[in-house]
Structure 1
Amino acid sequence: MELMGSTLTATYARPKTSHFLPAISTMASSYRNTQPVMAMNPSANMWRTNSYYKGSSSIQSPSSLQRDGFDLVRAKTMFYPSNRSALTTRYTPDDWYKSNHNNYRESESSRKSAERLRKDTVRLMQDKEQLTRRSQENTSKNIAERVNDIVFWRSELSHEIDNMVTEIAALTEVKRRLERALAETEGPLQVSQECLYHREKRMSIDLVHDEVEKDLIKEVEVIKSCQEKMRRHLERAIAQLASNRAAQHELEKDMSDKVTAQRIDDRCHYLRNTSDGIGYHRGIDRIDHSVSLPDSWSKFTDDNILLSQSQRAASHKLRDEIEILLNTTSNEMWSQFNNVNVAFTGRISETGDAKNSLQAHLAKTLQELFQTEMLIESLKKAIRDKESPLKVAQTRLEERTRRPNVELCRDNPHHRLVSEVMEIEDTIHKLQERLMEAESTLQTLVKTKVTLEHDLSIKANSLFLDQEKCMSLRKSFPSMPRLVGYT
């Protein structure tokens, strides 16, 4: 940048024994604008107008350079009229004309003046030649320092770009694992829901809200909660990747600009008076295309690097959170999966024991039912067996009523026959009552048998649902590496 007739230089504290540039922290305070030409020659800026300084100060103020969308606002190019006086000669054209006229009139004086002028001119040309050579050397030195600054910031940008590329690759891998882990949770969720649907087919008394159902509902809630956490972190990872790529884009754009600037400054540094391609560019020294100062120039790159570092730190933190989330969710799902399996095992054992007990009771009931039926048959046979003795006793009594006259005596046989008939009838009555009790007991046993058989079918259905349907589904559950997205 050329300002006020001279080239600004930037000073840095560098070790003389090392070819490496200092760190960013040492560079932050190392940019100091110095104006050696103005200090040496205060009249060097007298040719510039006041409007130039007002316009220049408003354009080049560091406080007015704000970053909006990572683009620099370019200041307007200002054009100024030339007020510059001839600085390379000691006399004006009028003096020269007057001198000629005086030389015409004063030939003697002219020769002495010409001799003096010749000597002074030779000395002036020698002085100006030395001044021009020193100025060109200083300019070349300033350009070399500028190239070193660009090389330093290029190295910083290159290092940060490499780190950002590595971080983007790491976050992309973690994001891919998170997506795989999220996809793996669909299987266990479907299994849990299928188990709940199957257990809705339980019948009657077995349709209870037991521990298995509670754990299955909790398992569904745990898996859905884990899925929601994974989706939130997946959205954060996608947004962070976008931020990382945006920061990488700014770094690469800045890197590209510095590569171009270094190529231009290198070409300028190696330009010599005998180089090809040099030429006049009238008025170029009065046009200022600059959009930044050394401080704002270094601050721009430093801000890009700091932004990239902050994004890398946020990305690294997010990766750690995702790793913790994957381990936590996999442990939660595995723990609840095991709890449900334990509950299923206990419930199946309880149902199996109940079924075995029902089968034992049903066998005893069937045995008792058979014996009761045999008892009823025995009672019926006993009642039938009492019919003949009753007939015999009644027939005897009826026959003895035909005895004539005084022979119709109430004797001991008569009393015995009457007593026998009463005993047989009482026996038949008691046997019939017992038969009725046996038949009632038989009906009760039949109802018990039906109830036991129905309950046994319910238990068999529950065992089939829990053991065959549900547990067969729960044999396949994602492994721990799959739940954390490694496979």
Structure 2
Amino acid sequence: MSALPAKPGLRHSVSEWYSNNHQLSETAQHERHVSNVIRQEGRSLRNETNCQTTWDERDTSRRLRDRTWDVARCKEALEACAQKVDQEMEALTLTKEQTEQALAATAVPLEVSSECLTLRDGRRGYELVVDPVDEQLKREVELIEKVQQVLQQHIDKSFEQLCVLQEARHQLTADLQNKMDALDIDMSCLSLTIKSPQISLKTNPTRIPSGSSTPQEWIQFSQYNMANAQEAMQVSYQMREEMSLTRAQLQNELDTQRRAAEFALRKRNHHEEQARDELEWQIKNTEDEMAEMESDIQGLDADLQAKTASLKLAHTRLENRTNRPGMDLCRDEVQHGLVNEIHQLEATNTALKQKLSEAQLSCPLRCSHSSLLILGTGF
């Protein structure tokens, strides 16, 4: 027995069929409308995002160009400041070398003045006097030592200032190198496009790197470095002016003192030459007087010898007349004359001997004084 066909499913009415078809049509129409709206919104969004992306890219490029211009201007300012620092360092180094040369130039005058004092200490006797030459030479030595101390202080200060300038130059160099690196990076970023092969997605590119600074801090940092360098250069300039002025003033003082010492020495030499001429004149007169005294001593001695012979004659005559006999032994005028002659000759001999003794005693004194005069002339 064959099986009966299965019963069809739930049957719908014609109205339900129309209603279902109408619903399907409305649903399809709604879906198409929604799709159309989405498509229109998508197209609008694409247009807006394309415009926004293009604008953002161009705005970013503009900002990069502005930033590179700012960095380039700042780099130029740093380079100009660094160049001025280099020039100031060269000028200060030159001034320092000139001051060192001035300090070295005082060594010989100091040795000369000290040697002069040492040599003058070798004077003997009454020539070892404290005269104006000694005073001027001692003042010159003290002044040179003071000048050396002042110049050395300036040299030390200039060396310290060179270190300050070097540190400022180092800060400028570091800042300048950072500006150059940043400029290279920004220029590289400016050259990138969407077709560049170097571009790629990065992990968290919007993060804020550690050590980041604000634009105000960025410009203030460079301004501080340049201001610090300007201040160091100003101090260096004032120091150079002060060193040049001090060198000129000290040189004038040294020249003035040198001329004063030379004048005192010339004046002293003139006085010594006058004293020497006076002593030489005294020596000549003393020697002449000694020669005359020697001649007079010889004359006195000759007269004494002659008077002794006359005395012998008178003694002999008087003694021989004592041998007269008898009444002829008369104390006549001859007798009285011989006695008076003997007394006169004895008095004369006594006077001659006394004067000869005085003359002989005065000769050693004159010789001694003449020796002192000769020593006084320095011969």
TM-score (norm 2): 0.89
Equivalent residues in 2 for 1:468-487, closer than 5 Å: none
- What is aligned with 1:115? 36
- What is aligned with 2:290? 369
Letter in 2 for 1:161: A
Does 1:153 find its partner at 2:71? no
Matched position secondary structure for 1:223: helix
- What is aligned with 1:125? 46
- What is aligned with 1:164? 85
Equivalent residues in 2 for 1:18-417, closer than 5 Å: 107-417=28-338
Structure label with greater radius of gyration: 2
Letter in 2 for 1:118: R
For structure 1, which segment, 403-412 or 172-181, has the greater mean C-alpha deviation from structure 2 after superposition?
A: 403-412
How far apart are residue 400 of structure 1 and its match?
A: 2.3
Percent sequence identity over aligned pairs: 29
Letter in 1 for 2:315: Q
How far apart are residue 290 of structure 1 and its match?
A: 4.8
Change (3 A) 1:448 1:124: same
Any unmatched runs of 5+ in structure 1? 1-102, 461-487
Deviations 1:206-235 (A, max 9, x none): 111111111111111111111111111111
Separation (CA, whole Å) in 2 of partners of 1:348 and 1:132: 102
- What is aligned with 2:370? 449
Separation (CA, whole Å) in 1 of partners of 2:51 and 2:304: 157
Deviations 1:45-92 (A, max 9, x none): xxxxxxxxxxxxxxxxxxxxxxxxxxxxxxxxxxxxxxxxxxxxxxxx
Separation (CA, whole Å) in 2 of partners of 1:119 and 1:411: 197
Report how many aligned residue pairs link the two structures. Answer: 355
Letter in 2 for 1:452: L
Separation (CA, whole Å) in 1 of partners of 2:57 and 2:309: 157
Letter in 2 for 1:130: C
Matched position secondary structure for 1:286: coil
Deviations 1:385-433 (A, max 9, x none): 1122222222222222223333333222222221111111111111111
Separation (CA, whole Å) in 1 of partners of 2:341 and 2:164: 116
Separation (CA, whole Å) in 2 of partners of 1:276 and 1:335: 81
- What is aligned with 2:21? none
TM-score (norm 1): 0.70
Separation (CA, whole Å) in 2 of partners of 1:236 and 1:430: 89
The two structures, once aligned, show a CA RMSD in angstroms of: 1.9
Letter in 2 for 1:123: S
Separation (CA, whole Å) in 1 of partners of 2:158 and 2:264: 37
Separation (CA, whole Å) in 2 of partners of 1:256 and 1:388: 127
Letter in 2 for 1:353: Q
Deviations 1:98-148 (A, max 9, x none): xxxxx9x95553332222222222222222222222222222222222112
Higher relative contact order (CA 8 A, sep 6+): 1
For structure 1, which segment, 347-356 or 408-417, has the greater mean C-alpha deviation from structure 2 after superposition?
A: 408-417
- What is aligned with 2:14? none
Separation (CA, whole Å) in 1 of partners of 2:211 and 2:366: 109
Letter in 2 for 1:441: S
Any unmatched runs of 5+ in structure 2? 1-23
Matched position secondary structure for 1:165: helix
Deviations 1:309-342 (A, max 9, x none): 1111111111111111221222222222222221
Separation (CA, whole Å) in 1 of partners of 2:365 and 2:208: 118
Separation (CA, whole Å) in 1 of partners of 2:315 and 2:119: 72
Deviations 1:228-271 (A, max 9, x none): 11111111111111111211111111111111111111121232
